[in-house]
Structure formats: structure tokens, C-alpha cells
Amino acid sequence: MLKAAIKKAKTHNPIKSRQELENCSAYARIQWARKTYDEGLVMSTSFGIQSAVLLHLVTQQIPNIPVIFIDTGYLFPETYDFAKKLTNLLNLNLKTYKSEYSPEEQESYYGKLWEQGVEGLDRYNVMNKVEPMNRAISELNAKAWLSGVRRTQSKSRRNLSVSEQQHKTIKLYPIIDWDDETIDKYLIGNNLPYHPLKAKNYVSVGDWHSSSPLKPNMADEDTRFNGLKRECGLHLPSGISDYQI
């Protein structure tokens, strides 16, 4: 599917191969995605520590792109405030998706899944993140999905390509090769805010029960899911789980 998209783009875009997509700038990657997928293009955001970067980069070129936000119901109050701030600042076309089960229903049925080891976390993530994202992709008729994943974020992302196929959807990572210094320069240069919890030494922010500030002798990825895992399932090749909800 990706090869077909690149072939389609040859008539109006200089990018002719996956390697060229790898070697070009973030701006050019977004431009290629816009021309190739048009109304079939969406992006996602977690309103995390550095989320303002990709939101700004993309909406400068595609102002009305659907921005998918997965709200688990367990986010920090600061995250909801940050989401409102960036939505207003960048005039985002925000599409919020949630689990079909409220937090109260989930805890009644299953208890606190995040306290039940890797298996509990996997079930929790499918219910609160993977299923709502799959539903968003389907309802928005998305052909391609822009995400702010970067290689420097964790070991599990170190060898990711700039693009990959996840089921029938193409995923593109425009800032896959950006490091923290590049991120900082972009935020400062464009007068964009960090998530407020950065001031409390958070380097990655998700749910309040599964995120912690960076402490001495910790790797960045250890600050998520009590160090048991890094990925929630959205950015694994399968994007799915065998667990039944």
C-alpha cells in the first residue's frame, strides 16, 4: 500500500521512494502526505510534553486536518488544561474519542487494571486507547495517520521507519529523527508551550496512574507504566491485542 502511494505521488511530488521520504525534512514529509492522501489524512495527539511541535508543524500546512485525541478519563488535570490551550492557540479540528466503558464501569468490572501487571495494562490499553483509536480511524475514513513518535523516545522506537503500514492505514512519523535539542529549538523559535508537567520533571505524560517524573538513575521510558513496559499498543506494528474487552 505504501509503495502504491509513493507511485501515485510521483506525478506531483519529488519523493519517489521510502528512502527519499526518510531523507527529506519534516516539512516535506507532511507536504507529501497532504498531496498523497488529501482528505484521507488525519493526525493524532496525546497533548504530551512536546506535542505542540507536531501540532504546529502540521496545522501550518493543513489547518483543518482532523486531530484525534484519545481521552482515557484518567489524564492529569494539567493535560486537559494544556489540550484546551493548544486547541485554542492552533485552532485545532479536534476529534475526541473515549472508551465505550466509563472509568467507573471499568473499575467495577475489572478493578484497577493498571495495578494488575503487564496483562492488566495490556487489557487497559486495548480498552482505553487501541479500541478508541481504531474506531476513530474507521469513522474518519482515514487512509494515513501522522504521529509524533520519535526514535530517541525509547528502545522500542529506535529502529522505526519513517513510515509503516498498520492494518489498512499508513502511519507517517514526520519528526521521527528529531532529537530533544531540535524539539527545544522549534518550541522556543515558534513561541510554543511545553506541557506544564515538564516543570515537575515529567518527560512523558499519559494517565496519572501510569506516569511518573524522571528520577535519578531512571531512563525516560521507565517513567511510564511503572517501568513494566513503554508502549500502550497504538504504536506497535499490530496495533491490536488478543485480549477481549
Model pLDDT for residues 55-65, shown as the tens digit of each residue: 999 999 999 99
For residue 176, pLDDT beyond 70 = yes
**244 within domain boundaries:** no
- How do residues 201-220 score in pLDDT, each as one tens digit? 998 899 999 888 988 887 87
Q: What is the pLDDT of residue 57?
A: 97
With respect to residue 237, please indicate whether it lies within any of the assigned structural domains: no
Could you give the percent of the chain with pLDDT greater than 70? 83
Whether 94 shows a pLDDT value over 70: the answer reads yes
Residue 5 CB neighbour total at 10 angstroms: 18
Residue 227 predicted with pLDDT over 50 = yes
Q: Who has greater pLDDT, 145 or 222?
A: 145
- pLDDT band, very low/low/confident/very high, at 19 (cuts 50, 70, 90): confident
Q: What is the pLDDT of residue 234?
A: 60
Write out the catalytic residue numbers: 232
Domain that includes residue 90, residue range: 2-227
| Residue 13 or 135, more confident | 135
Q: How confident is the model at residue 151 (pLDDT cuts 50, 70, 90)?
A: confident
150: pLDDT strictly greater than 70: yes
Residue 6 has pLDDT above 60, yes or no: no
Q: What is the CATH number of the domain that holds 79?
A: 3.40.50.620
| Interatomic CA distance for residues 97 and 135, integer angstroms | 8
pLDDT of residue 222: 78
* For range 12-26, the mean pLDDT: 74
* Residue 236 belongs to a domain: no
Q: Is the per-residue pLDDT at 101 higher than 50?
A: yes
Mean pLDDT across the chain: 85
77 belongs to a structural domain: yes
Residue 35 placed within a domain: yes
User: Three-state SS for 43?
Assistant: strand
**Sign of the C-alpha dihedral computed for residues 204, 206, 210 and 211 taken in this order:** positive
Number of domains in the chain: 1
Rg for the chain, CA atoms, rounded: 18
**CA atoms of 122 and 154, how far apart (whole Å):** 18
Is the residue at 243 inside a domain?
A: no
3-class DSSP assignment, residue 118: helix
Confidence grade of residue 161 (pLDDT, cut at 50, 70, 90): confident
Instruction: Give the residue, 243 or 57, on which the prediction is more confident.
Output: 57
Per the listing, cell 506544564 goes with: 196
Res 187: pLDDT: 97
Is 15 inside a domain boundary? yes
| Between residues 167 and 150, the one the model is more confident about | 150
